[in-house]
Structure 1
Amino acid sequence: MSQPDPAFEALLQHLKVSRGFDFTGYKRSSLIRRVDRRMSQVGVPDYAEYLDYLELHAEEFTALFNTILINVTGFFRDPEAWEYLRAEVLPALLATKGPTEPLRVWSAGCASGEEAYTLAIVLAEMLGTTEFRDRVKIYATDVDEEALTHARHGTYSDREVRGIPPELLEKYFEQTGGRFAFRKDLRRSVIFGRNDLVQDAPISRIDLLVCRNTLMYFNAETQARILTRFHFALSEPGVLFLGKAEMLLSHGALFLPIDLKRRTFRKAPRAAPQNGTLFADAPPPTGRPPLTGLDVLRNEAVLASPLAQVVVTDDGVIAVVNRQAEVLFGVSTRDVGRPFRDLELSYRPLELRRHIEKAQTERRTVRVTDVTYHRGPEAMNLEVQVSPLVGSGTEVLGVSVAFHDVTDFRRLQDELEQANRQLETAYEELQSTNEELETTNEELQSTVEELETTNEELQSTNEELETMNEELQSTNDELQTINDELQDRTGELDRTNDFLETILTSLRAGVVVVGTELHVQVWNHQAEELWGLRRDEAVGQHFLNLDIGLPLDLVRPVVRSTLAGEDGPQEVTLPAINRRGRSIDVRVIASPLRGDGGSVVGAILTMEESAGAEGAPAR
């Protein structure tokens, strides 16, 4: 829609003000389609009248929200991505934590809870159930209270637990009354609560944030706002796990990809936000007197130094961090006052604490060369200088740790060494070449005589080439004739395709052709008229996932039987809602589409309104 419908926007604003549900950030195309579906079910023709209907029927809000919030989820949905998370991402994340340090996980948009319990199973398998209970908290949130109620019960049907491997199903679920209930002793570690990603504050200090196939329902502006909240929620080095339908290519300042195919990302270091930015990092602690005069100049000189520099007090506390150290190692002024041993910098890219102790004890500068630091895909060569800072009374006040980037120097040194070796080789080759030149000069004299003979042969060859050129011209004429014939055949094919398109358009029945994987290949004009779904919206989509008024779950057996090769067309008559909101009976006939060898390569579905149906506009 090029312009928003004022009546529809007024309806969204009413939902936000009266019930606290903010759908203004959702994509309008899918949102309008779902609201229209609900309006057709209650027989209301326009948005203004539906707003009045909501005010008179309070129970209608629940039905509308259930229609809008389509909770599509499942256990171990996209198994390859879950396996990558288990085998690669989580071990690396756990390695950054102590053996008893808690692990905080957030499942955002958890729907009916399958995703949250999948996380619990994966972590319990990695840590063991005892350590899982002691260390792990999984916060599962959604905006849909009805889905959260289902999730809190933690019981699922046979169909819902189909994605769980049998050995895990037996280990983590108890079967009661034909349903499967998640283990109560582990259930206490999974906390469900309502959270609107658009309006509510995020959960903080999260190590793993899972939000799969939820962002795709929001527009770009709302997605950016939510991702900013996610960045705030994640701790260092937190991991964001998204679904297949979502990407973060335009949010590189917030998240760095771990594996784009599996949609796993790491929180990127971010500069301090401007005043007024939502969920900005906490300001540095106050209480220290402001710097003045020469102190300001000295402080700025340290901060602006081209070398990454960190100053540590004699009792091991961070005193100064300059800008280059923040860029290179991710430390910042927020770390001032923290024990140096708590920073990753204290042991990576090298163990610094023993060098600091040596510099303090011996009161001399300690230099460490040949230090390799891997920064993303690139490797840097560093030279580290640890210098004691001695006061006027000869007491050691602390140490200054400076990191010299000697990558370019080492690269130049390697290039010079390589160049010297090449020069030595070139000199030897030059001596040999000089000798060869003398021999070559004699050979050239003989070659001149041979060239004269070759020139005569070339004259003869030139005449042969002229003859060959005439033959090629003749061949070119023949190819031109073939090209004309191919163009004529192309024209015939175009006319045949136009003829077939005319037949499909002229048919009174809706015609749909699907492949063996149930993806739509043909969607004729009458199908558009019947269901209100354009051809470009339907072709390529999974037939059973189409958002039309036909109960596709009841069509599935007919299509499956046809694809299985059963003889004759399969037929079923079903009640449906057409694109105008009218209730009709639709006769669906499925016929096999066979290839050259007679095998079934798809199915042809014809859908037409049953002759005895009396469709009445839904009101």
Structure 2
Amino acid sequence: MTSEDPQFEALLAYLKESRGFDFTDYKRASLMRRVARRMAQVDAHGYGDYLDHLQVHPDEFTALFNTILINVTSFFRDPEAWAYLSEHVVPALLAEKDPDAPIRVWSAGCASGEEAYTIAILLAELIGVDQFRRRVKIYATDVDEEALAEARLATYTDRQIAGLPAHLVQRHFESTGGRHVFRKDLRRSLIFGRNDLIQDAPISRVDILTCRNALMYFNAEAQSRILSRLHFALADGGVLFLGKAEMLLSRGDMFTSVDLKRRIFRKAPVSAPRAAPAAARPAAAGTLWADGTELLGLDRLRDEAFATCPVAQVVVTVDGVVALTNRRAETLLGVSTRDVGRPFRDLELSYRPVELRGYIDQAQVERRTVRVPDVEFVRPGLEAETTVLRVDVNPLSGADAGLLGVALVFQDRTEAGRLRSKLDLTTRQAETAYEELQSTNEELETTNEELQSSVEELETTNEELQSTNEELETTNEELQSTNDELQTLNSALRDRTAELHRSRTFQHVLLASLPAGVAVVDSDLQIQAWNRNAEDLWGLREEEALGEHLLNLDMGLPTDGLRPLLRSVLSGESTREQMTVEAINRRGHTVKLQVVCVPLADHTPTPDGAIMVMTTDAV
């Protein structure tokens, strides 16, 4: 099985189209391994066969998703890391906040809820129950609806809370029906919902974000996108808590390490734009200058400055509505003031000469300028003339850092292109001189290349080791999941064994208490039960009789005479047969034996056996 298998990719596409689960960014090795596990259990011999099986058996989706979304979790998993978070990181974070400020937490990939409730316990212990109820809001998300349903119940077994200290269980759980339920008054501060880290928008202004052992299932590109979303979600100085196999190799510039060993990071501060000098900043309408005069008509001045700007600009609100256009945009791009108030997507400009809607979404999500270079545009009415544009998509934020919209700036780079062509000749002339200089630097460059090659090899080795570490951790998660399943199965088998033992004990006591000899045979006349009175009657112990053919037993019972009686009952022809025969008991006495035979009924036309009851009278 390889990552390029087209049938496997077709299976992933079917899962996405039919059930909305997109696994295309998951690591292929571990994903294939888990799908192969389900294929083996349903005896599918290829991805095509398994896709057919899914189409015929819709209930298989649940089993497959439970296998792929491993959902291995526990309270205070990796206790040392949680202790460090509780003793050092969170207290420092709380000290920086106003005593009455809200505390927002996001548990991403919460599975069955243990991690989210762990954070709740940690915060309740640090700030007290009253402040917790008043200030804390915990958002717990996952892609697995079944796991979320279990998390919302907040009900756990003895085994699931085994790692919690007794005093925490006593303070934060209520015992009912042999299970432990998280306190309802604290439970109200937790909100559970579905969120796909790849596709869905992140929760914002988060102080503490835990995303443990989730990134390692995704490939490097998906990890980078997720980390960008997590960075956006965190408030300034917010804390990110990852799993022990996860690093920030791809987006280390976004976070600073608090404790690398325990995988705790903080959001790196974003450089604030430098304020303009006081003389350069426009005053608001009605503002008094130093000489006491008031500047009037400032709004009109701003509008005229924007309208006459030599660079074409279009401003779009956060809801995608055209808010402003200037005269240069009208001349160059063919838009007009009549387009103000229209959805931007309805304008031809939104997709021609280049698809801008995707770049607008990117700029709004990442809160940074997105540049689209070298866009060729045929100006309206001048089809023979091609203009080369550079488009800058600039996000616009208010004083409260809230997103207001984007400004589309269209720079005419046509003349710059012509100048570039003229410069090409000069460049070629300079290249001749440069080649002479280049020869003198060859030795230095060779040494530099060797050093660079060594650095690249070390970086590649580091990435391979990190990938191997993540793969091992993924395998460990799968093994732990399998172990949990085996423990559940083992527990069920123990219960079944105990029930069977109780049933056999009851059967033995019941047979022993009957005043007659009782023998139970199967359809082949093999003895399945032999009570104590049968032992006293014939002198054969139970262990000597069990499993033996009734008619082959060496005792004083005239077995030949019993054949018709047993045949009638076992064939289903009769529901009760009886006869009286003379027999010799274990003491050598001749006795009259009253034999009653009834079928061993199991609601089928043909009995599985027969029950033979024997009572005696001395001759």
TM-score (normalizing by structure 1): 0.46
Asked which structure has the greater CA Rg, the reply is: 2
